[in-house]
Amino acid sequence: MTDVLILSRSEAERVFTMKDALEAVEEAYRAQGEGKVINPKATSFVVPGYNGEVDIKSAYIESMNCSGLKFAGGYWDNPVKYGLPSVIGVILIADGSNGMPLAIMDGTHVGAYRTGAAGGVGAKYLARKESERVAIMGTGNQGRLQLLALLENFDISKVYAYDRDKARRTAYAEEMTLKTGVEVVSLDEPRKAVAQADIVVTATPATEAIVFDDWVRPGTHINAIGADMPGKQELDPLIFKRAKAVVDLREQCIEIGEIQNPIREGVITELDIYAEIGEIVAGKRKGRLEDDEITVFDSTGLGIQDVAAAYRAYVNAKNRNIGKKIQFF
């Protein structure tokens, strides 16, 4: 008989930390840069009438001999209408040798942490090492996780939080100050947040620019997290005229990432993309070269992140005897 491990959300939370997420995502990027993954482009579609979208990602990672699939839905009315999270996901991973399922687990926690970790890894290789001030644009769940990921690699002294919803950004500032011990300040002018920051994180569902070129100082690093579908946008395209642009997957980012906008408007071309993050993590390209460079990491989310993260959660759960086993055959 072959057992499949089932992990609920609470169990996933027990076995998968931000440190796990950062290590798993970095390993996935390195394997990508070494050409040891299969990573098809994501499939995304809007669900008419329900303010929702569905994202499907899949991948294979040679070093883990593991393949997997994540099905995630973003339904933005869920908290008010149904008392449910806005994002709900499920991840399945399988043995790469024979396709036998290894685990089925909650993808909401694992997926959210791997997204936070993607920004953390991007900043590790692209931001100035002495970066200490962060602007968080968008104070939802990802605004929280992106900050937690940055705190693993940077000595952050101050955080500037902006969200169009004043109550939400105020609550964020209070919560994250208490949680992290770092001073988090709620600002009502986004320009003030960006202009004072060493690292800027955009984590919103915006469809027009919320960060503008003349706000961004030399030496700033930007993690562009929110754009993951056609029509989404968080950055002024003119930023890319000054910036070193790094993407998680060229073809995918050109279609659905932040970089779709400056390319469409003719500000830059596809040839202006400096590198994929995997090339930098694998040591094939240099990351930041000068202190005054502006760098942008366009993170759309990859199946390899989900597979690596889920595999780490699976191994941790097995080692700690957490989760429910069911006989599959």
The Cα 190–Cα 264 span in angstroms is: 25
The Cα 76–Cα 85 span in angstroms is: 8
**What pLDDT is recorded for position 76?**
86
**What pLDDT is recorded for position 58?**
96
Q: Could you tell me the fold of the domain covering 123-301?
A: Rossmann fold (3.40.50)
Domain ranges of the chain: 3-111+304-327, 123-301
**What pLDDT is recorded for position 229?**
86
**What pLDDT is recorded for position 1?**
57
Percentages (nearest 5) of helix, strand, coil residues in the chain: 40, 30, 30
70 catalytically annotated = yes
The Cα 263–Cα 78 span in angstroms is: 34
Provide CATH code, domain 3-111+304-327.
3.30.1780.10
10 Å CB burial of residue 76 (0-12, 13-18, 19+) is: middle
**What pLDDT is recorded for position 44?**
84
Q: pTM for this one? A: 0.94
Catalytic one among 57, 70, 124, 244? 70
Mean pLDDT per block of 10 residues along the chain (329 residues) reads 90 98 98 97 88 94 97 91 91 96 96 97 98 97 97 98 96 98 97 97 96 98 94 97 97 96 98 98 96 97 97 98 90
Backbone angles phi, psi at 140, to 5 degrees: -85, -160
Q: Which of 136, 109, 107 is nearest to 123 (CA)?
A: 136
